[in-house]
Structures are given as C-alpha cells and as structure tokens.
Amino acid sequence: MSKVAPGDQLAIRAADWNVLLEVADAWRQNQVLRTAGSSGITKTAGVVVPVKNGTGSTVDRYHAMGLGDPLFTYADNAQTFKNQLAFDGETMSSSYLGKFCVAQETIANGKIGLCMVQGVTPAEITVGDADDTHVDVDTAGGSKLVSCLAGGAQIIHKPSGTGTKWAIVRISNIDSKPEDEDTGTGTGTGTDDVCVSSIGGVSFDGLPIATSPAYVLGIDAAGCLVRIRVGTC
C-alpha cells in the first residue's frame, strides 16, 4: 500500500482491502470478547491483537504461534501502523523464543484471528518436567507451548505430571530469576570478561560476564530459555 493525499484517486489492491476488512472484523470480535457475559466466551484478561495465521495449518484455540512482523509497517502506511496493530503468525521455532502469541479462537491457515500477546490465558501445553515453572515456544515447530525453567510465560496453574496438559499461563517478559546454580566450566575471550560456552549440559553463544558469579541467558537441550548462575572459568 502507498500513501495518498486529499483529492488523490484512491486505488486499493483487492488483497490489501481484504486484509483491512479481516483486521477490522477481528477488532470487532475483540470487543465482543471483552464485553461477553454469560455467552460462554471467556472474557480476555490481557492484550489481544489480530494475527494472521501463516503456519500452513489451522491453529487451534489456546495453541500458539511465533509473533512475526506487523501486517502493516510504517513504510506501508504510517497511520495504519499507528492505529491498527496486527501481526503475522509464524510456525514456532528458536527464532521466536520469548516472542509468541496464544490464539483466543481457532484460526484457519491464511486467516486473521485474535491472539493474546500479554496477559493471563488458558493454554494447552507440553510439560517435559513436572517441576517446570514457565513455558515458551516449541522449537521443533509444534503448535503447543512447551514447559521450561524460565521462559516467555509463567505457569499459573497446571495439573501434576508430564505430557500434554491444560494450563493457565501469564504471558509477560522473559523471567530473569536464576534457575540453575551450577558453576561449571567453559572457555572465554577478552581481557577482564569471561565467556562461558557450556554449563551443566546447557550450551549457548559466548556472553561477556563482568562479575563473578553472574547470571547469563542460555538455551537448554529442548531449545528453551534458561537463566544460569556461573562462576569464573
């Protein structure tokens, strides 16, 4: 889409017009969700935005997608960018760790539906360890969030055990509490700082450590974000 000035002839491509209509419809549905009483629709408890399903498959209600680029960029149309938040939804991968949304309705491939990007929502998740306290994206490309020690959403409630569970999660910033206090060993470069490459089976790119001990962000074998307490190598 391109900008127009008053008096210019307005020519909108059919594809762009259809996207605008879908986004508008999603926003109207959002108002219904927020005001629903005994209709059987759960009131939203967070930030909900229209997201276009680009995963190639239907995304079930309370499953997740990686949060991609905005549907309308500032370069496309400044006013639409400012006034109409909407995003592409992508198949989950490590590129979307800490950046995902949970569908508030079933969304067919290529269609736009409402997704929560921050707040409290039910979610169908995969629990790998009963002691996990958070969830993040499935780096293997599944549609359910997977449990972690630290991630983009805190588990408020889940049944005991492992496997597929129905949970309530709070989507927010990545948890910053230390979850693993192994000191481990590693290698480093630089003058005063040390870069640790592997601790307790968790590997990650070398990160500068200004003090010892310090906490660094790592990625575990399942591809989940974790916080690790490290010492001098």
Q: What is the mean pLDDT of each run of 10 residues along the chain (233 residues)?
A: 63 66 62 48 76 97 96 88 92 91 96 95 94 90 90 94 96 59 38 46 50 54 56 45
Residues 115, 56 within the same domain: yes
Would you state the pLDDT for residue 84? Answer: 86
Would you state the pLDDT for residue 232? Answer: 45
Residues 152, 82 within the same domain: yes
CB contact set of 134 (below 8 Å; sequence gap of 6+):
147, 148, 149, 150, 151, 152, 153, 154, 155, 175, 224
Would you state the pLDDT for residue 212? Answer: 46
Burial level of 148, CB count in 10 A (0-12/13-18/19+)?
buried
Would you state the pLDDT for residue 165? Answer: 98
Residues 135, 198 within the same domain: no
State the Cα–Cα distance between residues 66 and 194, nearest whole angstrom: 32
Would you state the pLDDT for residue 230? Answer: 53
Residues 81, 191 within the same domain: no
Last residue of a domain, one of 154, 171, 188: 171
Residues 190, 78 within the same domain: no
Beta strands (DSSP E) in 128-180 are 134-136, 145-148, 153-157, 163-171
Number of H helices and E strands in the chain, helices first, is 2, 15
Would you state the pLDDT for residue 4? Answer: 60
Is 79 a domain residue? yes
Residues 32, 139 within the same domain: yes
State the Cα–Cα distance between residues 112 and 97, nearest whole angstrom: 22
Last residue of a domain, one of 171, 200, 217: 171
Query: Is residue 25 classed as helix, strand or coil in its secondary structure?
Result: helix
Burial level of 3, CB count in 10 A (0-12/13-18/19+)?
exposed
Neighbours of 199 (CB within 10 A): 23
Last residue of a domain, one of 171, 191, 220: 171
Is 181 a domain residue? yes
List the strands of the sheet with 225-230, edge to edge: 198-199, 202-203, 214-219, 225-230
State the Cα–Cα distance between residues 153 and 142, nearest whole angstrom: 17
Count of domains observed in the chain: 2
Residues 70, 164 within the same domain: yes
Would you state the pLDDT for residue 131? Answer: 87
What does 67-78 look like in DSSP terms, one character per residue? EEEESS-TTT-H
Query: Is residue 4 classed as helix, strand or coil in its secondary structure?
Result: coil
Closest C-alpha to 148, from 99, 215, 40, 221: 221
Residues 139, 29 within the same domain: yes
Q: Which domain holds residue 192?
A: 176-233
Would you state the pLDDT for residue 194? Answer: 41
Residues 153, 182 within the same domain: no
Q: Return the sign of the alpha-carbon dihedral for residues 139, 141, 146, 151.
A: positive
Would you state the pLDDT for residue 178? Answer: 41
- Find where tokens 């601790």 sit: 199
Would you state the pLDDT for residue 177? Answer: 46
Strand partners, 103: 115
Is 205 a domain residue? yes
